[in-house]
A and B are shown apart, each in its own frame.
Chain A
Amino acid sequence: MNNALHLDCLLRRFCSEVRSCQEIWSVARRKRLNSNKDALWYKDAIIYQLHVRAFHDSNGDGVGDFLGLEQKLDYLQELGISAIWLMPFFPSPLRDDGYDIADYNSVNPSYGTLEHFRKVLDSAHQRGIRIIIEMVLNHTSDQHPWFQEARSSQNNPRRDWYVWSDTDTRYKHTRIIFLDTEKSNWAWDPTSKSFYWHRFFSHQPDLNYDNPEVREQMWNVMKVWLEMGVDGFRLDAVPYLVEREDTNCENLPETHNILKELRRKLDQYFPGRMLLAEANQWPADLRPYFGDSDEFHMAFHFPLMPRMFMGLKLEDRKPITEILQQTPEIPPSCQWSLFLRNHDELTLEMVTDIERDYMYDMYAQDKTMRLNLGIRRRLAPLLNNDRRRIELMNVILMSLPGTPIIYYGDEIGMGDNISLGDRNGVRTPMQWSGGWNAGFSNAEPEKLYAPIIHDPVYGYPAVNVTSQRESEHSLFHWMQRVIAVRKSSAVFGRGSIEFLYPANHRILAYLRRLDNETVLIVNNLSSAAQAVELDLRRYKGNVLIEMFGNNLFPRLGDLPYLLTLGPYQSYWFRLRRV
């Protein structure tokens, strides 16, 4: 062996050992994060949803990347969140913002490499932040090699990995989700001269979960990422995995069986990891996704979100309390996932026609703001940039039973750009500063994957992280504070809820209880000051401690407890017997 070759071998060995060391440390940190004490970590979590592409660009190519994200982890730690949900970052033709995956085992080169991803994972774990990634089980991109093989001939071994038909009349009771773009759930494939099934865009063929090879393959995909150390998956579009004739092809028992099998394997091989269901369904239909604690750990509460906006606009708690009254109990180890806004439109699928019309009229009078059955707007513009209402909605989000998810940029009140098509208007670059490209990228502006918001109200000179960090009363600092207060008590993530029904319907009040701790939340949904009398006689003798300022309020007695609240004001009180 010559010297050069010997040196090369040494270097390779050294690097390999270093990597092994890193992996050992990574595993150790994972073990610490997944200790028994934290088995229900997702119940206490505060999740921050972001798209790598939109967060920070480290190499100046105009597209956010993993190294850019890593540079901003300190910011997220400072904000106080405890988990990051990464939107799809896999290789993809990006015809649906990455939800059209062309390779499940790699990362999109625009965002970096697998090494870069590992670096983010490790750095986040060092900060006590968990990483949840997206897994699109239902479909692939039509550019995925599996589909390319499947369509290549009717005899291809992968042909049966997708759902094919000679006619487009099968499963005719199935609704079309993307009404604005799709006319059918079947698309014609001219290559193999037959129709393939797709619940979303026609370039996203559905996988055939009746095929055991597909089920096995998708578990293998998940295993790759779990072995790397991810803490959980947000499983996209789970109600649609299986198709059956004469059904609506949603929430079928066969689908639940497949999901239960994934959970069983997860618990067996990767205890402490979490599955989050994306199932835009009514609460009663959502309940089975928790099973007997043997399916999903968490599921989004889709119907609640629009009703929070509705309750705020109506200045009436009824829409919120009603939907929560209709929400079934879930197993103790399970959790609802709550959100105000996300990367999609504010979905209005789970509302009545009257409610939908109301929401459109109140929040999207401009018809270009509407998409499919929803409103493609961010939080701040939806609330007319009214700081009081933004705070109130976040307070409710943080105090209702469930794990809150904050959509990137909403913590500083970012705006949207409805001139961009589809849902891209709410996926614009993060606004870090008032400088070049809002501090997002050093690239020439025309190279950015999407234009920065630059309107007078929400533009980056007015709304950015740097200026908000420097301003004591900024939304960022307020969000920091509300997150800190929420994290100060496990009652928010794990406690029960009991609604109080004061006669003043503009007041949304509830008790959160866990063991010996009781917290009272009182929210004024009205734009005017309100008085409310709360029946708290059973807590007679307790004093109220306002949780944001730790100030004492008068002791509870025999009479109804009278509170006055300013417009959109909230109180969080800890009850203490002294």
Chain B
Amino acid sequence: MEDGNFLTDDFLRQLINVGEVDILVGLPTHNNAKNVGSIVHTIRDGLLRSFPRERAVIINADGGSRDGTPELITSVSIDDVRPDSTVYALRTLHAISTEYASTPHSGIALRTILAAAELLRAKACIVMSPESGSITPEWVSSLLRPAYYDGFDLVCPTYRRHKFDGLLMTNLLYPMVRALYGVRIRESYMPEFGFSGRLGSQFLGQNRWNDGTGDNGIELRLTLAAVTGGFRICQSFLGEKNPVERRAADLVPTLRQTAGVLFSALESDFQAWSGVSGSQDVPTTGSDLELVLDPLRVNRKRLWEMFVSGVSELESVFQSILSPSTLAELKRIAGLGEEDFRYPTELWVRTVYEFAAAHRKSVINRDHIIQALAPLFRGRVFTFVVENRKGSANDVANNIEALCLEFERLKPYLVEMWKSKE
């Protein structure tokens, strides 16, 4: 068992009172009082509707909220101390909270949730995002059922998203994970997901928590651990996913938690991914891709400008990361006007692979490598938006599929670069 010393005595006492459970719902939070009340009520409704007989607990790992978030969560407990005639439940439902002694961080929060799941011997768990504005009670069921009843170890969500929502997923993570690891998981860096107690325990014991590197992009690490560990993975369609407002400044941290984590994982997972060719679907309940086509204003000009200035300002950095031919091609397209600018699929895939190889070789500080990817990704987003602006759902899906196939086709290029060091 993972060393549980990072759990507070008070939290341990609460866990003792909860005792063994069948189902655990983890809710990492930090100042989420605005939404978390309705989210946690929805979670409770989902549990009461779909798992009325199971022993369940809602565990809040809070990063030091000062807005009353933990109190909102613990208030949904159902017990005999404060009987609530408006809610009928067969058994007690605990909602408990703990504040971890660190800055708000999803990695530490998830570690707390995983440790609780192991201590309580939870059979199936879900982690829900405190920002899931579109959550419904059915989400709880959709994420839990495959793990609780059908023996799956990881349940990844799929959503109905706007075609321009989640572009990091569609343009980098999904195609790259698919090409390298051979599994078609749409959302490998997922805001909400389900997992078995078995996977949770394994991951808790293996992940590199203590050196701090294991805290970043924890959701993606869990996905990759499930893939390389031979765990059973499935996808479950949840429905509409409202986009979360992000600022432009959020891109680099997000890249660290996605591309950075993926590039790092490629090192330790080389044996697992290098021999894989092609890719396989994973069992999916419902649709694996539903796109909303409503008109959406995207500031393309800003994307193009950031790409152009990035290529110009970071040329010396790119010289360390990219091959001369790729860099030359980037410089060429950076010279095109906005109307003519396109970031071709093959060039994007080569760019990403060369970044991954450079990351492995640590040609420069790894974090600088990830930061340098940001303007290029914006160029790719510009292109994706332009190419799919008038596209139907099928057109967009076909374009994504074409990108994936390109990642798969060029995989030997990455393997070759990887081996070249050796």
Report A's interface with B, CB cutoff 8 A.
Answer: 310, 314-319, 321-322, 325, 352, 354-355, 358, 499, 501-506, 526, 528, 530-531, 533
Asked if B92 contacts A503 (CB within 8 A), the reply is: no
Question: Which of the listed residues B53, B80, B88, B89 has the most CB atoms from chain A within 10 Å of its own CB?
Answer: B80
Question: Which of the listed residues A317, A318, A321, A530 has the most CB atoms from chain B within 10 Å of its own CB?
Answer: A318
- B289 adjacent to chain A (CB < 8 Å): no
- B20 adjacent to chain A (CB < 8 Å): yes
Report B's interface with A, CB cutoff 8 A.
Answer: 13-14, 16-17, 19-20, 52-53, 55, 79-81, 83, 88-92, 94
Task: Using CB atoms, name the residue of chain B closest to A531.
Answer: B16
Query: With A358-B53, A501-B80 known to touch, is A314 a contact of B91 (CB < 8 Å)?
Result: yes
Asked if B80 contacts A505 (CB within 8 A), the reply is: yes
Number of A-B contacts (CB under 8 A): 57
- Tell which of B14, B20, B83 touches A322, judged by Cβ atoms closer than 8 Å: B83
Query: With A321-B80, A501-B80, A505-B79 known to touch, is A354 a contact of B16 (CB < 8 Å)?
Result: no
Task: Tell me the smallest distance from the CB of A97 to a CB of chain B, in Å.
Answer: 33
Asked if B88 contacts A504 (CB within 8 A), the reply is: no
- List, in ascending order, chain B residues with CB within 8 A of A322's CB: 80, 83
Task: Using CB atoms, name the residue of chain A closest to B53.
Answer: A358
- List, in ascending order, chain B residues with CB within 8 A of A531's CB: 16
Asked if B79 contacts A354 (CB within 8 A), the reply is: no
Q: How far is the CA of A322 from the CA of B89 in the complex (A)?
A: 11
Task: Tell me the smallest distance from the CB of A476 to a CB of chain B, in Å.
Answer: 33
Task: Using CB atoms, name the residue of chain B closest to A506.
Answer: B19
Q: How far is the CA of A502 from the CA of B80 in the complex (A)?
A: 10
15 examples of A-B residue contacts, CB within 8 angstroms: A315-B19, A316-B55, A317-B92, A318-B80, A318-B89, A318-B90, A318-B92, A325-B83, A355-B90, A358-B52, A501-B81, A506-B19, A528-B19, A530-B19, A533-B13
Query: With A318-B79, A318-B80, A354-B52 known to touch, is A505 a contact of B17 (CB < 8 Å)?
Result: yes
Q: How far is the CA of A501 from the CA of B77 in the complex (A)?
A: 14
Q: How far is the CA of A503 from the CA of B83 in the complex (A)?
A: 14
Task: Tell me the smallest distance from the CB of B139 to a CB of chain A, in Å.
Answer: 22
- Tell which of A315, A317, A354, A499 touches B88, judged by Cβ atoms closer than 8 Å: A354
- List, in ascending order, chain B residues with CB within 8 A of A325's CB: 80, 83
- List, in ascending order, chain B residues with CB within 8 A of A506's CB: 19
Asked if A528 contacts B92 (CB within 8 A), the reply is: no
- Given contact pairs A310-B90, A314-B90, a sample of 20 additional A-B residue pairs in the complex whose CB atoms are under 8 Å apart: A314-B53, A315-B55, A316-B92, A317-B92, A318-B92, A321-B80, A325-B80, A354-B52, A354-B88, A355-B90, A358-B90, A499-B80, A501-B79, A501-B81, A504-B19, A505-B79, A505-B92, A528-B20, A531-B16, A533-B13
- List, in ascending order, chain B residues with CB within 8 A of A358's CB: 52-53, 90
- Tell which of B17, B52, B53, B55 touches A503, judged by Cβ atoms closer than 8 Å: B17
Task: Using CB atoms, name the residue of chain A closest to B14.
Answer: A503
Q: How far is the CA of A531 from the CA of B15 in the complex (A)?
A: 11
Task: Tell me the smallest distance from the CB of B196 to a CB of chain A, in Å.
Answer: 21
- List, in ascending order, chain A residues with CB within 8 A of B92's CB: 316-318, 505
Query: With A503-B14, A503-B17, A528-B19 known to touch, is A316 a contact of B91 (CB < 8 Å)?
Result: yes
Asked if A354 contacts B80 (CB within 8 A), the reply is: no
Asked if A526 contacts B88 (CB within 8 A), the reply is: no
Asked if A504 contacts B80 (CB within 8 A), the reply is: no
Task: Tell me the smallest distance from the CB of B123 to a CB of chain A, in Å.
Answer: 15
Query: With A322-B83, A325-B80, A501-B80 known to touch, is A352 a contact of B16 (CB < 8 Å)?
Result: no
Task: Tell me the smallest distance from the CB of A27 to a CB of chain B, in Å.
Answer: 49
Q: How far is the CA of A325 from the CA of B80 in the complex (A)?
A: 9
Task: Tell me the smallest distance from the CB of B168 to a CB of chain A, in Å.
Answer: 43
Question: Which of the listed residues A322, A505, A531 has the most CB atoms from chain B within 10 Å of its own CB?
Answer: A505
Q: How far is the CA of A69 from the CA of B80 in the complex (A)?
A: 45
Task: Tell me the smallest distance from the CB of A508 to a CB of chain B, in Å.
Answer: 10
Task: Using CB atoms, name the residue of chain A closest to B52.
Answer: A354
Q: How far is the CA of A501 from the CA of B83 in the complex (A)?
A: 12
Q: How far is the CA of A352 from the CA of B19 in the complex (A)?
A: 26
Q: How far is the CA of A19 from the CA of B92 in the complex (A)?
A: 62
Task: Tell me the smallest distance from the CB of A245 to a CB of chain B, in Å.
Answer: 32
- List, in ascending order, chain A residues with CB within 8 A of B53's CB: 314, 358
Asked if A318 contacts B19 (CB within 8 A), the reply is: no
Task: Using CB atoms, name the residue of chain B closest to A501.
Answer: B81
Task: Tell me the smallest distance from the CB of B20 to a CB of chain A, in Å.
Answer: 7
- List, in ascending order, chain B residues with CB within 8 A of A321's CB: 80
Q: How far is the CA of A176 from the CA of B88 in the complex (A)?
A: 27
Task: Tell me the smallest distance from the CB of B75 to a CB of chain A, in Å.
Answer: 15
- List, in ascending order, chain A residues with CB within 8 A of B17's CB: 502-505
- List, in ascending order, chain B residues with CB within 8 A of A526's CB: 19
Task: Tell me the smallest distance from the CB of B244 to a CB of chain A, in Å.
Answer: 35
Q: How far is the CA of A503 from the CA of B12 in the complex (A)?
A: 13
